[in-house]
Amino acid sequence: MRLLVASRNAKKLEEMRRILAEHLPADSGLEVVGLDDVTPFEEPVEDEPTFEGNALLKARAGVAATGLPTIADDSGLCVDALNGMPGVLSARWSGPPKSDDRNNELLLAQLHDVPDERRGAHFACAVAVVHPDGRELVVEGRMDGVVIREVRGSGGFGYDVLFVADDHPGVTTAELSREDKDAISHRGRALREIAPLVAQLLG
């Protein structure tokens, strides 16, 4: 059986494959494929106001277009001093075309005069799985921390270079090993929770 991950982000796809492989039975025979591995289809505009809504939107579109059970996530950085923004707009915070570098530059500029004690933030993630028979699952994960004042690290993607997690103080999530990041990340937590449910759904 094939499971479609509704993403073209190579690093996100690798992360999802890695975590799912660790938590699905070794004999599941499941092949995890991405959007570049299936016949192209028109992807939906992510216009829902919540991470859960956008994740379901993408997963449902994947099932409708391919007939494959589909897993999709929506995630973002929610900054306390910005009333929870960028939130669902995280990937396109600085406008088109999408650019991690420009998003990080804009966020640093917006928080330039915010004192350290008010730079709290959290990463949020919703992971949705939709089966062709209509069954749906959604779980959410969260990673709390702070936004620092300079870019640090070369791992991860997105805002990882600016985010220090409460669980690993002193280093950004872009400076963590893959294993350490997976253990604490919002997406890692959500995927570990949903992986056994995916196994049951596909069983």
**Residue 41 is assigned to a ligand binding site:** no
Is 8 flagged in the annotation as binding? yes
Please state, in angstroms and rounded to a whole number, the distance separating the CA atoms of residues 141 and 124.
6
58 is in an annotated binding site: no
State yes or no: 23 annotated in a binding site.
no
* C-beta atoms surrounding 12 within 10 Å: 17
Residue 29 is labelled as binding a ligand: no
Q: Is 187 annotated as a binding residue?
A: yes
Check: CB of residue 165 under 8 Å from CB of residue 173: yes
Q: Which residues are catalytic?
A: 74
Q: Which two tokens stand for residue 97?
A: 């075309």
Alpha-carbon dihedral sign for residues 180, 182, 186, 192 = negative
How far is Cα of residue 128 from the mean position of the Cα atoms in its chain?
Answer: 11
Residue ranges of the binding site: 7-12, 74-75, 157-160, 181, 186-187
Residue ranges of the binding site for substrate: 7-12, 75, 157-160, 181, 186-187
Residue ranges of the binding site for Mg(2+): 74
